[in-house]
């Protein structure tokens, strides 16, 4: 396996400046182990989509762009129906940070992505997961110009992760390669190419040439444009939708060994009753007996 990679595709291309510190975009892409304008990769072709309508399809299998922004995190998307070619489907659950569903999801599948049943191998086709990783890029075609159109690109998991094979780099490896050479992702023109050896659309990334200082400034400005921010923000639902609240199952009752009740009696002072006085005997025994004898007569 060859890992000898030339920095730029064009021979003799020399970067005008090296970054003393990597910018937030490059760090963001390295660190992860136009609103209505999109570039779709459906059926292995680059398709320009404006306001939901496909307006152009590329003839080749590669596209030169400048990456001007990216979503802060690798996100997730889950569709509850299988994809059919040409059909527009919306995910019912998605995450912008890869950790928990968005509050605007139509049908959130779990409270946390890590415990979601759709994040288990085999929940999708074959041994795959039903919920898929993705990352959004904001790009312009070719070298950036002040009024360049900004496009959104939704990069699937197979094009994000993985190793470098025969010079083919997925997005994470590409960002690390660029950063390792002291450059930033937004300071070069990037070739995005379909991998002909992949059974499903898979993209690889390669640097074409460096931008000059003026073009780098334009790329940085475009990266701050509201269209670029919107292009890298995952939001499939209405912001007015109420978040679904997940209520944890009640904890099992804890039974403790019953102890006999201890009844404490308050000490009560004994009641001393006053003895009734016995009437004094005024007659002697002889007098009493004599009276009994008198009654028998």
Q: What is the pLDDT of residues 207-217, one digit of tens each?
A: 999 999 999 99
Mark residue 44 as left, alpha or beta (left: phi above 0; alpha: psi -120 to 50; beta: remaining).
left
More confident residue, 85 or 184: 184
Q: What is the rounded CA–CA span in Å between residue 70 and residue 30?
A: 11
Q: Which domain holds residue 218?
A: 24-231
Q: Which two tokens stand for residue 183?
A: 């450059």
- The verdict on residue 142 lying in a domain is yes
Confidence of residue 34 (pLDDT cuts 50, 70, 90): very low
Q: What is the pLDDT of residue 245?
A: 39
3-state percent helix, strand, coil for the chain, nearest multiple of 5 = 20, 20, 60
Q: Which of 194, 203, 97 minimizes the C-alpha distance to 157? A: 203
Q: Give the least confident one: 33-37, 145-149, 182-186.
A: 33-37
- The verdict on residue 159 lying in a domain is yes
- The verdict on residue 263 lying in a domain is no
Q: What is the pLDDT of residues 49-102, one digit of tens each?
A: 998 889 999 988 999 999 999 999 999 999 988 877 666 788 999 999 999 999
Q: What is the pLDDT of residues 125-135, one digit of tens each?
A: 888 899 999 99
Q: Which of 47, 102, 120 minimizes the C-alpha distance to 235? A: 102
- The verdict on residue 54 lying in a domain is yes
CB atoms within 10 A of CB 39: 21
Q: Which two tokens stand for residue 108?
A: 């959130």
Q: How many domains would you assign to the chain?
A: 1
Q: Quick one: what percent of the chain has pLDDT higher than 90?
A: 52
Q: Which of 67, 68, 72, 125 minimizes the C-alpha distance to 95? A: 72
**Is-contact 183 15, C-beta < 8 A?**
yes
Q: What is the pLDDT of residue 185?
A: 96
**Is-contact 144 157, C-beta < 8 A?**
no
Q: What is the pLDDT of residue 4?
A: 65
- The verdict on residue 182 lying in a domain is yes
- The verdict on residue 277 lying in a domain is no
Q: What is the pLDDT of residue 86?
A: 63
- The verdict on residue 45 lying in a domain is yes
Is 112's pLDDT higher than 90? Answer: yes
Q: What is the rounded CA–CA span in Å between residue 105 and residue 139?
A: 26
Confidence of residue 20 (pLDDT cuts 50, 70, 90): very low
CA-based R_g, the chain, Å:
42
- The verdict on residue 146 lying in a domain is yes
């Amino acid at each position: 396996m060859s890992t000898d990679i030339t920095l730029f595709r064009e021979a003799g291309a020399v970067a005008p400046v090296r970054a003393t510190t990597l910018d937030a975009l490059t760090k963001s892409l390295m660190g992860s182990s136009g609103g209505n304008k999109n570039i779709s990769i459906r059926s292995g072709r680059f398709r320009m989509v404006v306001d939901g309508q496909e307006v152009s399809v590329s003839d080749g299998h590669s596209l030169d762009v400048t990456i001007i922004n990216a979503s802060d995190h690798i996100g997730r998307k889950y569709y509850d129906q299988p994809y059919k070619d040409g059909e527009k489907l919306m995910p019912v659950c998605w995450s912008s940070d890869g950790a928990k569903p968005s509050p605007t999801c139509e049908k959130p599948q779990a409270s946390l992505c890590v415990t979601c049943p759709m994040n288990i191998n085999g929940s999708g086709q074959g041994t795959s997961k039903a919920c898929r990783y993705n990352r959004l890029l904001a790009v312009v075609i070719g070298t950036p110009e002040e009024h360049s159109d900004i496009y959104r690109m939704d990069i699937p998991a197979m094009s994000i992760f993985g190793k470098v094979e025969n010079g083919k780099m997925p997005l994470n490896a590409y960002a690390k390669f660029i950063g390792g050479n002291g450059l930033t992702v937004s300071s070069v023109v990037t070739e995005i190419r379909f991998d002909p050896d992949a059974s499903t659309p898979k993209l690889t990334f390669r640097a074409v040439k460096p931008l000059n200082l003026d073009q780098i400034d334009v790329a940085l400005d475009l990266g701050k444009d509201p269209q670029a921010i919107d292009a890298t923000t995952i939001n499939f639902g209405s912001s007015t939708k109420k978040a679904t609240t997940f209520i944890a199952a009640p904890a099992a009752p804890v039974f403790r060994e019953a102890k006999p009740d201890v009844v404490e009696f308050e000490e009560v002072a004994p009641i001393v009753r006053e003895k009734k006085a016995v009437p004094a005997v005024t007659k002697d025994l002889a007098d009493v007996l004599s009276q009994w004898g008198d009654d028998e007569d």
